[in-house]
Structure 1
Amino acid sequence: MRPRVSFLLLALSLFALGAVLSLPRPGKEEAVRPVRAGALPEMGVVVAARDIDYCGYHTPCGPGSRTDTIFYLRLKGQEAKGVAIPRDLYSPVVGGKVNAAYGRGGAELLKRAVAEATGMVAERHLILTLESVARVVDAVGGVEVYLERPMRYTDRAAKLFIDFPAGRLHLNGEEAVKYMRFRHDALGDYARLDRIKEVVVQVLRKAQDPRTWPALVLALREAWAELDTDLSLEEVLGYLPALRGLKVSLATLPTREGPGTFLYVDEEARARFLAAFFGASPPAAPPEAPVVLRGEGALLRWGQALLEKEGVRPVLEEAEVAKSAVYTQDPLAGLYYAELFHLPLLAPHRPLAGVLVELGKDLLQ
């Protein structure tokens, strides 16, 4: 299984890298030199992306009032842990679906709705537009994805045309946004959130490389005016270098189906999952969970040797991998193997038995 992609880390890139915009414009010979202020501060940030409003056929009016992509991101030290909130989740404080919160009460109501859903404090907010996301993806050189089957969808009224072949693909910013908006498969919105997580991780990892910063600064100078945020550029400037070596974990809030098209928070599952996801430390010994190791050639053999040193005998799958990561719905097992391989942890919604470790050629870069 290949869980798919998240505006979350795109958002994190904007959050930290946007601080550079507060610097005086450098001269031609002067480089941007952020000042390191230490690890990231502890805070809960609601990161969301606004949809597009249309005035008529093929006539976009600009960013809409719905936020179909919503994440709760917890920053602390050298860790960023995020939980995706499904757009169809019923929110009592909103009196409807959580994706309507921003349109009804702005960022403050959205923060209240996210805090209600997660049971965690949401201090700050960062609301993106699709155009700003595309600019950031282009600034880091695009992203790579792997499709097991073609991805096709046409909405002529919205002028949205998605037509990607199966296989390994390199996507630019506009294409990546289409990839993240697609929800017309068996798992619908849940699969869309998985795709967003995948893209976000790639953008964040590329943003850790100082060589990408000049292009990102130029992109963000254009994009920052489109954002709705209570994070000042000066406030986050000193934490740009903290992106380097950042440990990233992304999951989806446990929910259950309800009447009509609503989803509801699964209270018992939420308490159990979030306590382990946000509060636990990596186990000292390998958890008892089956492990599948996927990759090619020397990378697969290296991963196998590393696991066998830990007393783990994985199931090996020789296959092409677009980007390396650890996938599991078991938070403790995920923490252990993400720490062992120094890889991002992604918890997909699609059922996944045990742990899947994917090793791609990006590890050699």
Structure 2
Amino acid sequence: MRLRTLAILALVLIVSGCMGVPDDRSKNKESSPSDANDSVSETVLDEKTFLLLGVDSRGEASSRSDAILLARYDQEQKIIKLASIMRDSYVKIPGYKLNYNKINMAYYLGGSDLLKKTIYDNFHIKVDHVAIIDFNGFVKLIDLLSPEGIKVDVKPEMIEDMTIEASKGENVLHGEEILKYVRFRHDSESDFGRVKRQQEVLVQLKEKVVERLSSVEGVVAMPHVLGEARSLIDTDIGMKPLIEIGTSLLFNPIDEVETLRIPVEGSYTDETYPHSGAVLELDKEKNQAALQEFIER
């Protein structure tokens, strides 16, 4: 069983956006060339696409990307867009000797660079930045952002299959149990259900962060929380650019999280191949158009 984690970078953006830390350029001094190079400037969110990966490891060297999400912030509408690409999507992988395999194989073979190329070749979406988190980081991030836990509806089959310490119905779960909750897939919804649960938990986390920031204590603690969150994520975005993102989002706060799942409804068939097992065979044109329209509109 694999991790279907949350859109981690989106959570960092939400946290930093709410904390409202001013960047160095708000002071009456000129920025040095090195500052400019380290900065992603006010265009960091404008027409930028972030690749968010949850990997199925607890620190091991080799892993697969089983949560693959693309995030885009629409400043005009104050919306974060999250598109989940299901791990069993059967795609063409650049340079792969068998040509096609599940999209999560791309990360296993060539890391985030090959996965970015795979996404571009199959969907014509250019990735600008990447953020990666594993099992351990996910658990710690959940407890960091929502120490009081998250309320979810637990099914009896989840309790038995994932040994979740909970009862049937609504429960308040914490890091390890939430990890099990978003990993569960052994019911009629399979991986499709996991995508829904990850999006459900994301929305709750957003509300938890906003709630914490309604108090003076929460605002004071937020710089530390952001620093801790950043340490749990492997990303090509530095701390200073993250603060700049926060400044931008402070004045353009997020009102809504929009979601999309690839493949979209009615655009795939269930197939099986000897080298890859059960896959989702995509209608490439339909899914490419749907993803481009969602991300770039």
The TM-score by the shorter chain falls in which range?
0.7 to 0.9
Tell me which moved more, 40-49 or 251-260: 251-260
Matched, 1:258 2:263: no
Instruction: Give the aligned partner of residue 273 of structure 1.
Output: 290
Question: Aligned equivalents of 1:226 and 1:178: distance in 2?
Answer: 19
Q: Given the alignment, which residue of 47, 67, 78 partners 2:52?
A: 47
Question: Aligned equivalents of 2:61 and 2:230: distance in 1?
Answer: 14
- Residues 102 and 216 (structure 1 numbering): CA distance in 2 closer, same or farther, change over 3 Å? farther
Conservation of the 8 A alpha-carbon contact between 2:7 and 2:69: no
Q: Given the alignment, which residue of 155, 158, 166 partners 1:151?
A: 158
Paired AA for residue 159 in structure 2: R
- Residues 63 and 208 (structure 1 numbering): CA distance in 2 closer, same or farther, change over 3 Å? farther
Quote the offset at 1:245 in angstroms: 3.1
Question: Aligned equivalents of 1:213 and 1:110: distance in 2?
Answer: 37
- Residues 81 and 277 (structure 1 numbering): CA distance in 2 closer, same or farther, change over 3 Å? same
- Residues 262 and 249 (structure 1 numbering): CA distance in 2 closer, same or farther, change over 3 Å? same
Question: Aligned equivalents of 2:108 and 2:207: distance in 1?
Answer: 32
Conservation of the 8 A alpha-carbon contact between 2:17 and 2:246: yes
Q: Please, which runs of 5 or more residues in structure 2 have no aligned partner? A: 24-40
Conservation of the 8 A alpha-carbon contact between 1:84 and 1:252: yes
Q: Please, which runs of 5 or more residues in structure 1 have no aligned partner? A: 21-31, 54-60, 155-159, 281-365
| Cα-Cα RMSD | 3.2
Which structure 2 residues correspond to residues 1-365 of structure 1 after superposition, within 5 A? Answer: 7-15=5-13, 17=15, 34-35=21-22, 40-52=45-57, 62=60, 64-77=62-75, 78-93=78-93, 95=96, 96-141=101-146, 142-147=149-154, 149-154=156-161, 161-209=163-211, 210=213, 211=215, 212=218, 217-240=223-246, 242=249, 244-254=253-263, 255-260=268-273, 261-274=278-291, 276-278=293-295
**Matched residue SS, 2:21:** coil
- How big is each residue's C-alpha offset from its partner over 1:175-229, in whole Å with a ceiling of 9 and x where there is no partner? 1111011111112111111111111121123234525555565455445344321
- Residues 163 and 51 (structure 1 numbering): CA distance in 2 closer, same or farther, change over 3 Å? same
Question: Aligned equivalents of 1:233 and 1:113: distance in 2?
Answer: 28
- Residues 19 and 128 (structure 1 numbering): CA distance in 2 closer, same or farther, change over 3 Å? farther
- How big is each residue's C-alpha offset from its partner over 1:12-46, in whole Å with a ceiling of 9 and x where there is no partner? 113564799xxxxxxxxxxx750278794331111
**Matched residue SS, 2:186:** coil
Question: Aligned equivalents of 2:113 and 2:60: distance in 1?
Answer: 21
Instruction: Give the aligned partner of residue 56 of structure 1.
Output: none
- Residues 63 and 161 (structure 1 numbering): CA distance in 2 closer, same or farther, change over 3 Å? farther
Tell me which moved more, 187-196 or 85-94: 85-94
Quote the offset at 1:138 in angstroms: 1.6
**Matched residue SS, 2:46:** strand
Conservation of the 8 A alpha-carbon contact between 2:124 and 2:292: no
Question: Aligned equivalents of 2:4 and 2:206: distance in 1?
Answer: 11
Question: Aligned equivalents of 1:213 and 1:111: distance in 2?
Answer: 36
Q: Larger RCO: Structure 1 or Structure 2 (Cα < 8 Å, ≥ 6 residues apart)?
A: 2
Conservation of the 8 A alpha-carbon contact between 1:162 and 1:178: yes
Question: Aligned equivalents of 1:175 and 1:215: distance in 2?
Answer: 25
Q: Once the two structures are aligned, what percentage of the paired residues are identical? A: 25
Question: Aligned equivalents of 1:275 and 1:222: distance in 2?
Answer: 33
Conservation of the 8 A alpha-carbon contact between 1:140 and 1:207: yes
Conservation of the 8 A alpha-carbon contact between 2:65 and 2:104: yes
Conservation of the 8 A alpha-carbon contact between 1:18 and 1:220: yes
Instruction: Give the aligned partner of residue 317 of structure 1.
Output: none
Paired AA for residue 57 in structure 2: I
Quote the offset at 1:264 in angstroms: 2.6
Tell me which moved more, 88-97 or 197-206: 88-97
Question: Aligned equivalents of 1:98 and 1:127: distance in 2?
Answer: 16
Question: Aligned equivalents of 2:5 and 2:196: distance in 1?
Answer: 11
Query: Taking structure 2 as the reference length, what is the TM-score of the superposition?
Result: 0.72
Paired AA for residue 179 in structure 1: Y
Question: Aligned equivalents of 2:203 and 2:257: distance in 1?
Answer: 7
Quote the offset at 1:153 in angstroms: 4.2
Question: Aligned equivalents of 1:245 and 1:216: distance in 2?
Answer: 17
Conservation of the 8 A alpha-carbon contact between 1:46 and 1:122: yes
Paired AA for residue 93 in structure 1: I
Aligned length: 253
